A and B are shown apart, each in its own frame.
Chain A
Amino acid sequence: MQAFLDSCAKAVLEGDTEAAEKLAREALDKKYPPLEVIEKGFVKGIREIGRLWEEGTLFLPELVMGAEAMKKAMAVLQPALSKSGSRPKSLGHVVIGTIEGDIHDIGKTLVATMLSANGFEVTDLGADVPAGKFVDEAEAKGAGFIAISALLTTTMSGQKRVVDELKKRSLKGKVRVMVGGAPCSDEWAREIGADGYAGDAVAAVSLAQSLMGAR
């Protein structure tokens, strides 16, 4: 079993989407518990990618391929999980998007993928999202978390409008706000009253985990 789990982690680490999908099917055939295969196999691969990315050994293409492999495996394992009733413990629901006026999509999408690969439920609103829509959607979904990307110094003030909107609806503190994007920083997050800043997709996962009190 351990060797099998290791090969699951390796498939994700190497961004081998075919192998990841094949291993997920094999896990079902062999009646391995899907939750264990995910958490002790595939997720381990994603974590390792995160570590190697932070130190500068792997880069964006590897991160994207790893997340793709993870998604393929999850697509196979998800139905079995639901059937067995052993749902992976969702760490929480995150509503994510790029703020209005800003069409930069890639960083936000990567954060969304990494969050979902790490056990968060994610609603991705896409790019050019009005401040009010983040809050509407978080209320509708009962999400505990809003993640806002802004890549331009001209659009980052929109992140503050989301925080202000939460305050207006008395949701500040109940819904945590995480900001990211090239011009953002810890100071910026503090200044606008957001709960945290993440500089990349890997940091976003750690930040979300710590804010959710998970781990």
Chain B
Amino acid sequence: MTKDFLATIKRRVVIFDGGMGSMLIAAGLTQREIPEAWLLTKGEKIAEVHAAYLQAGAEVVTTATFGASRIKLQASEAGKKLDPERVNEKGVEIARKAVEHSVKRDAFVAGDIGPTGLFFPPVGTLKAADARAAFKEQAQALERAGVDIFIIETMYDIREAVEALRAVREVSSRPVVVTLTFDRKPRGFFTMMGDTTEAAAEALLEDGASVVGANCSLQSGEMIELAEEFKLVTGAPLLFQPNAGRPVMEHGIAVYKQRPQEFAQDVVKIVAAGANAVGGCCGTTPEFIREIHNALIHGK
């Protein structure tokens, strides 16, 4: 018997997982490769990341399908030859198996949908219908493969987030989490298109988002303020997944220096500000999730 995600998130704080890409880089993913290709060739590496997050206390594992829409795959040499449907199915299969083999058998599998990487006019030439079709194809594959919920994340344009959300809604009635990525300006928090938290929450809830929030770009400290702002503009359940600080280079590799304990202390404040779900983004590791778990459960 699977738990009801929405009932759970309304009752208590749910812990999501942390970064996937930065973990795979640590496991040897090169700049010529993409995580989506590893789903087909080195699935065991991705399974290991899921397993480590589950072990650390994550209650949601996010499929490694962030860049698995047809438009995004087409944009890279490594992705061009991949079949979106197969990549997405494989992503769910690996995540599901990781859950079944873990101590957290009732963890949720979240089908991950990231941005196309293209822009709507006037910045780019992306057409709403094309974005919708690509997202629908991806959502269908994820739904068929049996995800528990969807997560549409790192969106920088409300319009694109809405296309992804509508695409999911066309093929599924499962809960959908939508997070955008915000920059901090002197006047407040905005997406690079100038969308505010209020505009985002309003548009996303109107199209059936179950949970809204923010991920990436910001560090945990900045995310506390953003959480406070979100709480003022919506009563919807909120998810926040900050980065582990800003990366610095060591021996030619990007290293995130923030310590897990320090991150977790900020996450406690994000929860106090009103978050219903928390996790990590770039640079976070199972250690970060373990610290969040400890801080929230044991208060240390």
Contacts and interface: CB of A to CB of B under 8 A. Distances in A.
Interface of A: 15, 54-62, 64-65, 68, 101-104, 106, 152-158, 160, 182-183, 185, 187-188, 191-192
Contact of A60 (B75, B193, B246): B193
A59 B192 contact: yes
Nearest to B78: A101
Contacts, number: 76
A101 B31 contact: yes
Nearest to A152: B31
20 contacts: A55-B187, A56-B185, A59-B191, A59-B192, A60-B192, A61-B194, A65-B122, A103-B117, A106-B119, A106-B123, A152-B31, A153-B22, A153-B25, A154-B25, A157-B252, A157-B253, A160-B249, A183-B247, A188-B248, A191-B248
Query: Which secondary structure dominates chain B's binding surface?
Result: loop
Interface residues of B, number: 31
Interface of B: 22, 25, 29-32, 75-76, 117, 119, 122-124, 185-188, 190-194, 217, 246-249, 252-254, 282
Given A59-B194, A60-B123, 7 more contacts: A59-B190, A61-B122, A61-B123, A102-B31, A103-B117, A154-B25, A187-B248
Contacts of A188: 247-249
7 interchain residue pairs of minimum CB distance: A56-B185, A59-B194, A153-B254, A56-B187, A101-B31, A154-B31, A157-B252
A53 B259 CA distance: 33
A179 to B, nearest CB: 11
Given A58-B194, A60-B194, A191-B248, A153 B282 contact: yes
A106 B124 contact: yes
A68 B22 CA distance: 36
